[in-house]
Chain A
Amino acid sequence: LYCCEEKVLDETVRLIIPSHPRYIRVVRGIIAESAGLAGFSDKERHAIALATAEGCSNIIKHSYENDYSRRIVLKCRVREGEVEVTLRDFGKQVDLDTIKPRKLEEIRPGGLGVHLMQSLVDEVRYRHCKMGTELKLIKRRKDGEKRDEDRTAD
């Protein structure tokens, strides 16, 4: 008797990148592909990749003050219908109470990154570590949302 037991998806991707903006594109690619494995649609994959990119940009600008020679540690936990991204830096700790989206009625450049992150994923959590800060972004697939491939198959 052969029994095919379906494994539950729960895998983690780890990556360390230099704190240079040119590596953000690499991160986006990994996150978008991982979100695809978790069953997200193309639109949602793009959303979590952009939110992660904004997290990396903020680390480079604020924690590392544009020092491109530091490192960012990325962890992406992939489960069916959920992606949890953790970004860890070892730079300056920003007062967590000051990390707020700017008022959108103020039309000015800058300050949009936090708003985009909060709008594009379900949870945005910051935590100060002994050295640096940890940012966690969690996105869950909405009930009834289908993968693009499943939608095509209907």
Chain B
Amino acid sequence: MKIEQRTEGNATVLSLSGEIDMNNSTEVREVLRQLVERKVQNIVVNMGGVSYIDSAGLATLVECLQGLKKYNGRLILTDLKENVKDVFSVARLDMVFEIRDSEKEALEQVAPS
């Protein structure tokens, strides 16, 4: 599991690669928890490098979303591979999360008008 973090305009972009499962979701959870604690307004998670996600990975993202909602923050997931998208769909979380095709599209959405 690799996590890269950078700032793009008014968003914090996390690029994840590898697998987010019971074995390593705590690493992602910790990074997201810190961002929520700092009340970061816009978090864009580029999941283009994520080849697998399980219920522990989904729970990590749900937890972050709930934290963000408390201060009207925004979480956008991008670049999901087909098999990862399928898991969101089976869990019916594709309607809960903001999911965009690309990081560029997500950044345009959160850019100040």
Contacts and interface: CB of A to CB of B under 8 A. Distances in A.
Nearest to B58: A112
Contacts of B19: 25
Q: Would you call the interface of chain B mostly helix, strand, loop, or mixed?
A: helix
Contacts of B56: 57
B62 interface: yes
29 contacts: A21-B21, A24-B21, A25-B21, A43-B83, A46-B83, A46-B86, A47-B86, A50-B52, A50-B54, A53-B21, A53-B54, A54-B54, A54-B55, A57-B22, A57-B55, A107-B62, A107-B66, A108-B62, A108-B66, A109-B59, A109-B62, A109-B66, A112-B55, A112-B58, A112-B59, A112-B91, A113-B54, A119-B90, A120-B90
* Number of chain A interface residues as a range: 20 to 34
Contacts of A60: 22
A99 to B, nearest CB: 14
A134 B21 CA distance: 23
A109 B60 contact: yes
A22 B22 CA distance: 8
B13 to A, nearest CB: 23
Contacts of A109: 58-60, 62-63, 66
B87 interface: yes
Nearest to A49: B52
Contacts of B62: 107-109
A135 interface: no
Interface in A39-80: 43, 46-47, 50, 53-54, 57, 60
Contacts of A50: 52, 54, 87
Nearest to A56: B22
A112 B55 CA distance: 6
B113 interface: no
A94 B21 CA distance: 23
A116 interface: yes
B92 interface: yes
A110 B54 contact: no
A115 interface: yes
| In the A-B complex, the 3 residue pairs with the closest CB atoms | A109-B59, A21-B23, A112-B55
B96 A107 contact: yes
